[in-house]
Structure 1
Amino acid sequence: MKRWRSKILLLAGVAGLGFALPALGQRETPEPLLPPGFGDQDTAPTPAPPSPDTEESGAPAGNALPPVAAEPSVAASDRPVIENAAVEDLEDLAAQEIVPPIEIPEESRRPTNIVGPLRAENWGLGFNAFGSAHGRLLTSLMGRLDAPLPSRWTSILLRRALLSEVPAPRQVNEVDWVAERAWLLLRMGEADSARMLVQAIDVDQYTPRMFTVAVQTALATADPAALCPLVGPGKAVSEERFWPLAEAMCAALSGDAARASALIDQQRRRMGETIDLLLAEKVVGAGTNTRRAVTIQWDGVDSVNSWRFGLASATGLKIPDALMRSAGPHVRAWEAQAPMIPIEQRLKSAQDAATIGVFSNAALVDIHSLVGDATDPSEIEASVAGRLRRAYASPTYGARIGAMRDLWGDEEIGGDRYGRLILTAAAAAEVPALESQSNRAEDLIASAMSAGFDRRASRWGRIVDAMGDDGDRAWSILAVGTPRPVVDVSRSRVEAFVDRDGGHRGRMLVAALAGLGRLEDPASLGVDPAPRSRWAQMITAAARNRQPGTVALLAAVGMQTGGWQGVPPHHLYQMLRALRQVGLDYEARMIAAEAMTRL
């Protein structure tokens, strides 16, 4: 059985809300990723609301919460017609009981009440990150969250919160709590992070919800072997149609070719020649002595789900670009991390992964460098790797900046322009503040800030200040992103910026400066600081109760929109203020700098 991985990228450098909690109803339950009959979820009964006297819940009595964890459906299947004794024998072979799982000694069992790989000294948010917040409220917020988020830095912070070593909150099943965290990480594109949480629970402790999430995690990480410990206990929990296919793949991977073939043939009679069966048969063909060669044709396939992604990626099959583009950025982030996919095919997905916070600047540079190592020397100079090398090592700063500009404007690299700024972040941070390069200050500052190089970006303060109106965009990034003010943030300077901008970006700057404690009376400049919505009251209460994990989750809730243009200024103010109150000043500044860069 394939050994599970534990590697994770820990660092990055990785239409409006409606506006408050009522808009969270956009997603009552996680969107199913498997095809019909492959893990579809029925809507579970709506749980009872939390106690009205719970301050952390922020929900009044009688306001019912959505389902915490949908149970797998039971898919009915017709028995095949037995036409002859040989087929009956094969049926009997396929129906044999699999070897029961090894029992874990009691003293070797891992706890389920405290789970998470990140401690406070290792980028976690602390043991009390969620404090005494109501468990059903937290899992409800996680389940309704529409991910990936529009903000890279908010996503990075939320990942740290979800991976923090924390106890299970009250009134929620301990294992289901871990499952909801892993499921949200999957939807954020964090397949390897989700796997770390799933692996932390012993299989014999799984709930039906955890079985569902564990299957999705195995597929998102393109690791069919990870399904094998789940098959026996999973079949006892539900009769999902994918279990026989998973059992066939595991039989092949363990060398039992006859049983694998019997199971596949049995499912072919029930399902027909579907793409989902053929992909499973492709995995079976990779086993020992199976003698099965399968050709996969994507004609007629109109979508990519986790089953198709996971099995195709595990066998090194290329999924057509049109299908991958329709799959969503979180699936492209899974692709960027899939080890069996040729690295050249993962480049554009890696850019998408960086934009949503899954890949760091260092990871992006590494993947392009690996491709560069395999590039013909005669072609290296024109490649991304060659241009990156010039951005880092050209003899003059002008030449370095020229190479960076070339990368920023090359849409063939993949991702959006912000993703390409992340690619050059470390190189941009190495460029000193030069008056001769002041016309490129905005891009250099934005690139450095995208990966968190705030102190190096601060060196441009004096030059940007001297640029006056011509340096407005660079000034706005420095005004909110540096550890201490290095540019003029007087009220008159802010008012002048708002007058010239006259739109959303100006109000967002006011909200960011006020949220960071660098501007008084934001109301007079069009940003209401009062926590009037239910969401604002909840994040304010979480900050007051010193719950950084709850604040991080609610900050993500406040960004339920397709892009930064949809984030309301008063939401940005409340989330930055709350982050500062719980000691996350750096993260607050990076989120504000990202807003000024991407608006």
Structure 2
Amino acid sequence: MTPSHRAQLFLGMAALAVGAGLAGPVTGQPAAPADTPTAAPKSLLPDEFDVPARPAPVAPLLPGTDAPTVVAPPPPPLLTGPVADASDTTALTDPMAPPATGRDITVIGPLTTAAGGYGVGTFVGSRGRFLAGLANRIDAPIGSRWAAIALNRALLSESAAPSDIRPADWVAVRAWLLTRMGEVEGAKRLVDSVPVDRYSPALYRVAGQVALAAGDISGLCPIAGNGQLLSRDVMWDLAVGMCAALQGDDITAARLFDALAEDEKRVEPFDVRLGERVATIAGGAGRAANIDWAEAPRLTPFRYAVATATGISVPANKLAGLGRARFGWLVRNAGIGAETRLESLGQAAVLGTMSATELVSGVAALAPADAPGDSRAGRLRTAFAGGSLGNRRDALAAIMASGDGSTRYAALLEAATAAARLPVTADSADASADIIAALLGAGDTRAALRWWPIADKAAAPVRARAWALLATGTGGVPIDADAFESWRSDTSATDHQAAMLLAGLAGLGLASGADWEDARGELLPATANSWTRAIDAAAAGRRAGEAIILSATGLQGAWKDVPPQHLYHVVAALNRVGRPLEARLVAAEAVTRS
């Protein structure tokens, strides 16, 4: 293979990381200016809140460093072996690495305030070790789409590292959480913004995870040599071999793979054959054997990345092994089949890694070109450009009704963009509550509020649902205790549903005063623990990033498992640190999904 062909392959593998036809914001839908409770709900909080708050332990300083390394659970092995830090960074002499820059990375992140970021001071005033401990223990992805969007934006914001943590370690914490949430494109942009000579051992490990989640084999090459020095994970040995082949050194690649093939105690033959497939494409013809997935009982990030980068089809039944975050990974990976990516779009939007507009564009790009009118793509076409208003309205109703259970919210998000273009007429009164829920799910508060005059005259259950959504999502309807009790009666709401609505209203400061005392005493008794004290303190100190991370710790798991008190403190904290729109949208999401 000629050098120019190798270069084309190298760039082609990088292109697989971001997919085709789905360009757009990396942090989810931009905000538009535009179930019964139990006496003892299961704990959704990380270990920090099982005991009194205290700083996380730190490791001894590494030679040449000026800040401690956070001791937190590292990412799982990239392939099969254990992960270990090096005790001395002076041996990092990877010839593949770019020249040293020495650039300061104290303030870093791809999302500027002009692009929707939260600003340089997002994490200023917080203890870095405390935040790192929280972030590394979040059971991602979290349950709330809008809390996830707020967290994604905070983590991606061009911002200063908090105190008592090395900037590179803080980037590692941010990128690892983004990857676990499914926001792999954003994680890759964040990692790529750090010069390799500024990496810490923790960032090497996380950068490897991010490259694999993105299906970007070439992204391993600048860090493979140092990764091999810092970790006993055999993935780095395989990466060195693959990168040698990509850079034209077929002899070194063959030698490395031969040695690995003889060391079956460290590496499975299946993984060696996958690595050799990269070398084969790059020029080592004749070395790679056929890939038989029956030999691989589980799908590791390495296997996922190499297979999708080299055109090997991954069996659909193995993809679930990557966890729920996979939906955000799959839709950005052009090496995944169109059918699988199409099926993943809705859940990626629910995770907050894809906007409602991107969701619709993805359906259009990935659905068969000849999709019939009664198909998913056909219904969307009719909802946008049907021959009559009645046809558009019927198609929109069919989209919103297509979801069931866990896919119900995804169906509303899929309908949102078309719903925003639907004329506001009395003929759509019966669907007005669903339309409002879809618009608020997409963050379009202005369009949602335009439907209130229609919903206000709809049947009592429809009107009541619309009122609850607009009361939390916009505040643009009359809100008092009597209206709350009417909603409760007209919708036959469960105590948990009533408590969640009340929590959202109270967190926004809309359910205070003597008229609300009975409802609050019944449904939302005051509670205090180490988590509530921590999030309240972060909000009082206007530490926005800290409050957002703490919000994520309180909204883990399914909505049915979220205590109303958690929602109250989350909404109140977001509102107090200057994120009122996010607070409203989280509250409206709770009404929709609880």
Shorter-chain TM-score category?
Answer: 0.7 to 0.9
Instruction: Report the 3-state secondary structure (helix = DSSP H, G, I; strand = E; otherwise coil) of the residue aligned with 1:540.
Output: helix
Unaligned runs of 5+ in 1: 27-44, 50-64, 77-96
Cα distance in 1 between the residues matched to 2:570 and 2:398: 35
Instruction: Report the 3-state secondary structure (helix = DSSP H, G, I; strand = E; otherwise coil) of the residue aligned with 1:441.
Output: helix
Cα deviations by residue, 1:189-239 (Å, 9 ceiling, x for unpaired): 011111112112222222211111011011011011111111222222233
- Write the letter of the residue equivalent to 2:472: V
- Identify which range, 169-178 or 399-408, moves more after superposition: 399-408
Cα distance in 2 between the residues matched to 1:322 and 1:164: 36
Contact 2:49–2:531, Cα closer than 8 Å, also in 1: no
- Is 1:497 aligned with 2:490? no
Instruction: Report the 3-state secondary structure (helix = DSSP H, G, I; strand = E; otherwise coil) of the residue aligned with 1:583.
Output: coil
Cα deviations by residue, 1:121-170 (Å, 9 ceiling, x for unpaired): 32111211122111110101101111001111110000000011121111
- Is 1:253 aligned with 2:246? yes
Cα distance in 2 between the residues matched to 1:366 and 1:301: 35
Q: What TM-score comes out, normalization by structure 1 length?
A: 0.83
* Aligned position for 2:440: 449
- Is 1:569 aligned with 2:564? yes
- Is 1:189 aligned with 2:182? yes
Q: 1:364 Cα deviation (Å)?
A: 1.3
Cα deviations by residue, 1:336-387 (Å, 9 ceiling, x for unpaired): 1112223333111122111111111111111222234x523xx443432222
Q: 1:116 Cα deviation (Å)?
A: 1.0
* Aligned position for 1:33: none
* Aligned position for 1:391: 383
Q: What TM-score comes out, normalization by structure 2 length?
A: 0.84
Cα distance in 1 between the residues matched to 2:75 and 2:383: 52
- Is 1:10 aligned with 2:10? no
* Alignment of structure 1 residues 406-555 onto 2, 5 Å: 406-410=398-402, 416-467=407-458, 469-471=460-462, 472-482=464-474, 484-486=475-477, 488-499=478-489, 500-521=492-513, 524-525=518-519, 526-528=522-524, 530=526, 532-555=528-551
* Aligned position for 2:34: none
- Write the letter of the residue equivalent to 1:243: W
Cα distance in 1 between the residues matched to 2:158 and 2:380: 37
Contact 1:182–1:213, Cα closer than 8 Å, also in 2: yes
Contact 1:255–1:289, Cα closer than 8 Å, also in 2: no
Contact 2:430–2:459, Cα closer than 8 Å, also in 1: no
* Alignment of structure 1 residues 43-54 onto 2, 5 Å: 47=57
Q: 1:98 Cα deviation (Å)?
A: 7.3
Contact 1:72–1:208, Cα closer than 8 Å, also in 2: no
* Aligned position for 2:257: 264
Cα distance change, pair 128–529 in 1 and its aligned pair in 2 (3 A): farther
Cα distance in 1 between the residues matched to 2:208 and 2:295: 25
Contact 2:122–2:160, Cα closer than 8 Å, also in 1: no
Cα distance change, pair 75–424 in 1 and its aligned pair in 2 (3 A): closer
* Alignment of structure 1 residues 251-330 onto 2, 5 Å: 251-271=244-264, 274-330=269-325
Cα deviations by residue, 1:225-256 (Å, 9 ceiling, x for unpaired): 11111122222223332222111111111122
- Write the letter of the residue equivalent to 2:203: M
Contact 1:351–1:415, Cα closer than 8 Å, also in 2: no
- Write the letter of the residue equivalent to 1:455: R
* Aligned position for 1:35: none
* Aligned position for 2:128: 135
Cα distance change, pair 71–156 in 1 and its aligned pair in 2 (3 A): closer
- Is 1:225 aligned with 2:218? yes
Cα deviations by residue, 1:438-478 (Å, 9 ceiling, x for unpaired): 11112211111111111111112123223363222222112
* Aligned position for 2:62: none
Cα distance change, pair 210–583 in 1 and its aligned pair in 2 (3 A): same
Unaligned runs of 5+ in 2: 1-6, 32-39, 60-68, 83-92
Cα deviations by residue, 1:55-85 (Å, 9 ceiling, x for unpaired): xxxxxxxxxx993354999969xxxxxxxxx
Cα distance change, pair 348–231 in 1 and its aligned pair in 2 (3 A): same
Q: 1:269 Cα deviation (Å)?
A: 1.0
Cα distance change, pair 352–25 in 1 and its aligned pair in 2 (3 A): farther
RMSD between aligned residues: 2.9
Q: 1:119 Cα deviation (Å)?
A: 2.4
* Alignment of structure 1 residues 82-101 onto 2, 5 Å: 99=95, 101=97
- Write the letter of the residue equivalent to 2:555: M
Cα distance change, pair 411–322 in 1 and its aligned pair in 2 (3 A): farther
Cα distance in 1 between the residues matched to 2:413 and 2:328: 15
Cα distance in 1 between the residues matched to 2:241 and 2:448: 55
Cα distance in 1 between the residues matched to 2:76 and 2:304: 20
Residue-pair matches, total: 536
Contact 1:17–1:23, Cα closer than 8 Å, also in 2: no
- Write the letter of the residue equivalent to 1:454: T
- Is 1:589 aligned with 2:580? no
Cα distance change, pair 320–393 in 1 and its aligned pair in 2 (3 A): same
Cα distance change, pair 386–337 in 1 and its aligned pair in 2 (3 A): same
* Alignment of structure 1 residues 151-166 onto 2, 5 Å: 151-166=144-159
Q: 1:511 Cα deviation (Å)?
A: 0.8
Cα distance in 2 between the residues matched to 1:122 and 1:102: 29
* Aligned position for 1:375: 369
Contact 1:72–1:209, Cα closer than 8 Å, also in 2: no
- Write the letter of the residue equivalent to 2:480: S
